[in-house]
Amino acid sequence: MARESGGLQSAERLLAPAVAETLESLELQPEDAAVSKLAERYAREIDGASAAAAQAEKVLREVGEDPDTAELVAALKAKLGARSAMESLGPKLLAALDALGASPKARAARGKGGASRGTASKLAALRANRAG
């Protein structure tokens, strides 16, 4: 197992493998490729944020007495933090998974009469029939 203190996370805490496993379980169409890659990228970015913040913390300890550099590194560390990554990328990852039908919300919508991907909804079918 990887240590968290060294900037590495244990495998159980990583999102990227879980997202990859989820995507593999879906019956994705070729037109889903971009969204699936985006979801994988978001997960990797979130996973990498902790390691980057740990590196920034290490640099912060080493800059010593230089207040300007310390201020810059502290700001960088804040932007790279895991919490910041989750707050900014977490909703985007969830939206990508929703679009692929890989979230409980998306599956529930399909189960309650929601259209499956690639098919028109009942309302769209009625409109099409009425129009012509």
pLDDT at 82: 78
pLDDT at 76: 80
Instruction: Residue count of the chain, please give it.
Output: 132
pLDDT at 117: 53
* Cα–Cα distance measured from residue 79 to residue 76, given in angstroms and rounded to the nearest whole number: 5
Q: Are 89 and 42 in contact (CB under 8 A)?
A: yes
Look at residues 118, 85, 117 and name the one whose alpha carbon lies nearest to residue 103. 117
* Cα–Cα distance measured from residue 98 to residue 32, given in angstroms and rounded to the nearest whole number: 12
**What single-letter amino acid sits at 89?**
L
Look up the pTM and report it.
Answer: 0.64
Which residues, 6+ apart, have CB-to-CB distance to 39 below 8 Å? 19, 23, 93, 96, 97, 100, 102
Mean pLDDT for back-to-back runs of 10 residues, the chain (132 residues): 47 88 94 96 91 82 83 81 86 95 89 56 74 74
Axis crossing angle, helix 82-99 with helix 67-80, rounded to the nearest 10:
30
